[in-house]
Amino acid sequence: MAVVLDGIRVVDMTVFYQGPVACRYLADFGAEVIKVEPLEGEVARGLQQHGILPMKEWNSYYYNNNRNRKSLAINLTKEEGKQIVYKLVEKSDVFVSNYRFTGLQRLKMDYQTLYQVNPRLIYAASTGFGYYGPDRDKAAFDPIAEARVGIMSYLGEEGQPPVYPGWGAGDMMGAILTSLGIVLALYHRQKSGDGQRVAASLFGGCIFAAAPFLQPYLSTSRQDLLHQPSRKARRNPLCNVYPTKDKWCYFYVPNSQKFWSKFCQALGMKELEDDPRFNTSENRSDNSSQLISILDSVLTTKSAVEWVKRYHEEGLLIMPVNSFEDLSRDPGAWENQYLVEIDDPRWERRKTTGLVAQLSKTPGETGIFGPELGQHNEEILIDLLGYTWDQIVSLKDEGVIL
């Protein structure tokens, strides 16, 4: 079976999250990714904690973000170290970095320099705030970018703390945009023969992520579109999140007579159907707050499972607000291979997330977890770059490689 990016070599000079994951998406579809890291290892190798979850047993952050690649541990501050990477770039198709531009300049790994080394190179800058502008070198932190876009102020009920839309969701947007830019450039290069520079960022990703709410405001300048409407005052009260005995559930029902009748049937309150406050769709909208109050109290009398059964019986859509624990047991997630088990020779099988897209003829592979530091030094230097064992011994002695 063909492998899409077979023969494509990627030099990965990335750290933490957005950059490594961008490279992972390429590796998942067959690219050979070589992670260039300092002798002490990429910063994320030393992560102690990830949220409430300690990394001491196993650094799932580093090992997942860096799946499917090789590690070259090398001292880029030494001239010989740079030369090794230039030789590698000469034989590669893609270079990806989320280092700051000033850092890349200092290391002489900037676009202009590498373009001279390899004019067919796709050079991908995957940064915090974009290739241009006064903030091009601003450090990339997801909560900072999300705050800057305004989505945190938009979400949530009036008066509640701002809602931070996911830990690193912005980084994940930046990651897929980087990979997408790279494969577009590779596709274009197939026809034109030209390499080019591609740039994507956390900030750009966050702006797009906010689009469903941000674009309506930008197009109309309506002040009421700066904040999410309260769940207590929805125009269609049948399309709303409601508390049940155990979990919140998202009820998603059209506000027509046909569906209202079924809604009341599922609710077990047929008498509500002809209540003059709610007996037409217009009335339901006008008296939405009252209806929501009633539903808030009625729906807490039964569990989510019970309501799902009743609403599905009427052909209505409802979805519990699941936790991670629920997700870990979700048959749909496993059957579609959105969650998978990875078989890595170093450990017993581990559960993790799968691929982001499925191709019918040339599927990707989740492969194995991230490499140990410098694990592929010799393989790369000898097999790929033609160094001898003697040269390798000298390079180690001089502190150029691990």
Partner 1 sequence: MGSGLLSGIRVLDLAYKTAGSLTSALFGDWGATVFKAEALELEFDPWQYAVDDPAGRDPLFEFVNRNKMSISLAFQTKEGKEILRKVAGKVDILVTDLPTKILEDLGIDYATLCEGNPGVVYGICSGFGSRGPDKDTPPIDELACSKSGFLWVVTEPGYPPSYTANGQIAAAFYLAYGIILALYQREQSGEGQKVDASLFNAYINQMGTLVQSSLASMELTSMPSSGWQPLSRSTATNPLANLYKTKDKWVSFALAQTDRYWHDFCKAVELEDIEHDPRFNTHEKRCGDEFRQDLISILDKALLKRSAAEWQSRWEGIPLIYEIIDDFQKVEDDPQAYVNQYLIELDYGSRGKTTMIGFPIEFSRTPASISRLCPSRGEHTTKILVDVLGYSSDQITELREKKVVY
Q: 50: part of which helix (H) or strand (E)?
A: strand 49-50
Q: How many CB atoms lie within 10 A of CB 122?
A: 25
Smallest gap, in angstroms, from Cβ of residue 238 to partner 1? 8
Smallest gap, in angstroms, from Cβ of residue 272 to partner 1? 20
Smallest gap, in angstroms, from Cβ of residue 366 to partner 1? 12
79 vs 372, which CB is nearer to partner 1? 372
* Closest to 338 (Cα-Cα) out of 325, 357, 324: 357
Residues contacting residue 119 through CB under 8 Å, at least 6 positions apart? 194, 195
Give the three-class secondary structure for 122: strand
211 vs 393, which CB is nearer to partner 1? 211
159 vs 276, which CB is nearer to partner 1? 159
Smallest gap, in angstroms, from Cβ of residue 242 to partner 1? 9
Please say whether the beta carbons of 133 and 47 come within 8 A: no
74 vs 202, which CB is nearer to partner 1? 202
357 vs 393, which CB is nearer to partner 1? 357
- CA geometry: angle 140, 145, 146, nearest 5 deg: 140
Q: How far is CA 296 from CA 83, 234, 306, in A?
A: 67, 13, 16
Q: Tell me how far apart the alpha carbons of residues 246 and 239 are, in angstroms, rounded to a whole number.
A: 19
323 vs 345, which CB is nearer to partner 1? 323
Smallest gap, in angstroms, from Cβ of residue 162 to partner 1? 5
Q: Tell me how far apart the alpha carbons of residues 262 and 273 are, in angstroms, rounded to a whole number.
A: 9
Q: Pinpoint the alpha helices (H) of 119-252.
A: 142-149, 151-154, 169-192, 202-209, 211-220
Smallest gap, in angstroms, from Cβ of residue 401 to partner 1? 28
Question: What is the Rg, in whole angstroms, of the alpha carbon atoms belonging to the chain?
Answer: 26
Smallest gap, in angstroms, from Cβ of residue 14 to partner 1? 15
156 vs 392, which CB is nearer to partner 1? 156
